[in-house]
Structure 1
Amino acid sequence: MKKLAVGPMTTLEYNEWWVRRINDNTPKSNQKNSQSIEEYLRVVPSKLEIIRQDFERRNTDLKKKIGQIEEEKINLRLDIDV
């Protein structure tokens, strides 16, 4: 009695095609839109951090203006005393 073969019966050509097959459904990387890993992992600041940075920048600007006004005030007093 002969044994029955269980499983797919394939040809040599089919086996070669199966090894070389290309799956067209997979997304391919696009070099135009690619990002470096550093850009991809860049930390995005929270709203609170953005507000804090804005506050510090405005605070620094106001300190400079106060310094300029105090200098003008001192210069005006000198002019009056003369």
Structure 2
Amino acid sequence: MIISPDQVRNLVLEKQIEQMEEEKMNLRLDMDVQKLEIEKLRKVKNKAEGDLDSLKTDYKKLCFSMRTAGLGKT
């Protein structure tokens, strides 16, 4: 069986298309994983910011209580 140059070219192109489709699928999976990681980091960041705000509030209350009780003076 003799394969024409056009058939060879078509086979090569089909193989390249298959490889590109596989790479595209892998890139989509990578993108999905990165989206999940970003969402997880956002949740951690938001919790940390909330904790920081809570600590700031507690610190202000403590300073006010110390001033009221006269403990802040030396």
TM-score for the superposition, normalised by structure 1? 0.48
CA deviation after TM superposition for structure 1 residue 74, in Å: 0.4
Identity of matched residues, % = 10
1:80 aligns to 2:38 (yes or no): yes
Q: Distance in 2 between matches of 1:44 and 1:57?
A: 20
RMSD: 0.4
Structure 2 unaligned residues grouped into runs of 5+ = 41-74
1:65 aligns to 2:23 (yes or no): yes
Q: Secondary structure at the match of 2:2?
A: coil
CA deviation after TM superposition for structure 1 residue 65, in Å: 0.3
Residue identity in the other structure for 2:16: R
Which protein has the bigger helix share? 2
Q: Distance in 2 between matches of 1:44 and 1:70?
A: 40
Give the corresponding residue for 2:62.
none
1:50 aligns to 2:8 (yes or no): yes
Q: Distance in 2 between matches of 1:52 and 1:58?
A: 10
Higher relative contact order (CA closer than 8 Å, sequence separation 6+): 2
Q: Distance in 2 between matches of 1:80 and 1:49?
A: 46
Q: Distance in 2 between matches of 1:44 and 1:54?
A: 16
Runs of 4+ in 1 over 3 A off after TM superposition: none
Residue identity in the other structure for 2:6: L
Structure 1 unaligned residues grouped into runs of 5+ = 1-42
